[in-house]
């Protein structure tokens, strides 16, 4: 893992920091695992803009991912580590012994030629997927299910990881990347290791045009809007707009919006840090 700082031969490259892509082994994706990806530009089925600041962006194809890791006991060889334009983490192409190919999220340290396997009675090694009931306490994990059979939904982005803290009965206590400590059923699957591309947080785009390539349109600050457009709008000159709040008037910066009667509150041992 490394990053490169470019020489400022153009204004857009003066502060640009790019990924070294040391871990990437090929730039050709597996054709059988590609799917078309349509952009909405923030419009709904009626053509009305329901989400602001979306649009443009480079054309992409979706990589069909295996988040469930249901092929228990069948070893798979890591054929390549690849870039995925749809996520911050790198992905790994697995060749199973029965001939099937799948994409999974790559973990730090995953190497081409390495054998990974999922199931209950497997070794807790990097890239292997297993139920929380079989993972040793204190292990660093990622790509965690929230419900059995649902597929990985937590700790999937670049550099993310969680830690298995304890087990009690049918629940395991897991410390999540946000700092929240939560109870998860021990029958849920998780992958051993930290998600790859942990240097992603060091990247600097260098120019506004690069945000446009990623599909992000310019965002208007609420303070410069008119009172009809936002609660923080209005005023003469550079007068700032009162308490920070959303367009609907909900306070930001410290106001808790989570429902006090939410069903999953009983599974949260410790809330995430402010």
pLDDT digits (tens, 9 = 90+) for 169-182: 999 999 999 999 99
| CB contact set of 185 (below 8 Å; sequence gap of 6+) | 132, 147, 148, 170, 171, 172
3-state secondary structure 28-93: CCCHHHEEECCCCCCECCCCCECCCCECCCCCCEEECECCCCCCECCCEEEEEEECCCCCCCCEEE
In which residue are the tokens 């709040």 written?
245
Max Cα–Cα distance, the chain, nearest Å: 70
pLDDT digits (tens, 9 = 90+) for 136-170: 999 999 999 999 999 999 999 999 999 999 999 99
Query: How far is CA 72 from each of CA 76, 79, 178, 189, rounded to the nearest angstrom?
Result: 10, 19, 30, 11
pLDDT digits (tens, 9 = 90+) for 96-146: 999 999 999 999 999 999 999 999 999 999 999 999 999 999 999 999 999
DSSP state of 22: T
Asked whether the predicted pLDDT for residue 186 surpasses 70, the reply is: yes
Does the predicted model carry a pTM greater than 0.75? yes
**For the chain, which domains are there?**
3-200 (2.40.50.140), 224-269 (4.10.950.10)
Distance CA 22, CA 81 (A): 10
Query: How far is CA 265 from each of CA 34, 85, 147, rounded to the nearest angstrom?
Result: 38, 34, 15
Query: How far is CA 31 from each of CA 62, 68, 96, 100, 102, rounded to the nearest angstrom?
Result: 11, 21, 17, 13, 11
Q: Give 79: exposed, middle or buried? Use CB within 10 Å, 0-12, 13-18, 19+.
A: middle
């Amino acid at each position: 893992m490394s990053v490169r700082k470019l020489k400022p031969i153009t204004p857009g490259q003066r502060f640009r920091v790019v990924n070294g892509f040391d871990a990437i082994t090929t730039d050709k994706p597996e054709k059988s695992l590609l799917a078309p990806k349509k952009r909405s530009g923030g419009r709904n089925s009626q053509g009305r803009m329901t989400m602001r600041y979306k649009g443009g962006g480079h054309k992409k194809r979706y990589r069909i991912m295996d988040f469930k890791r249901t092929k228990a006991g069948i070893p798979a060889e890591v054929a390549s580590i690849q870039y995925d334009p749809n996520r911050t983490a790198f992905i790994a192409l697995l060749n199973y012994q029965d001939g099937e190919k799948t994409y999974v999220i790559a973990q730090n340290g995953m190497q081409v030629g390495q054998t990974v396997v999922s199931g209950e009675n497997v070794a807790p090694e990097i890239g292997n997927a297993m139920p929380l009931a079989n993972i040793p306490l204190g292990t660093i994990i990622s790509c965690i299910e929230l419900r059995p059979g649902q597929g990985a939904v937590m700790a999937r982005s670049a550099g993310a990881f969680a830690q298995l803290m304890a087990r009690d009965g049918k629940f395991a206590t897991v410390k999540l990347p946000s700092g929240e400590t939560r109870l998860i059923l021990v029958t849920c699957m998780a992958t051993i290791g930290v998600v790859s591309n942990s240097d992603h947080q060091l990247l600097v785009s260098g120019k506004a045009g690069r945000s446009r390539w990623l599909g992000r349109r310019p965002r208007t600050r609420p303070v410069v809007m008119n009172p009809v457009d936002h609660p923080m709008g209005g005023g003469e000159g550079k007068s700032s707009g009162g308490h920070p709040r959303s367009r609907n008037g909900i306070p930001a910066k410290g106001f808790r919006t989570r429902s006090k009667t939410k069903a999953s509150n009983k599974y949260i041992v410790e809330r995430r840090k402010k």
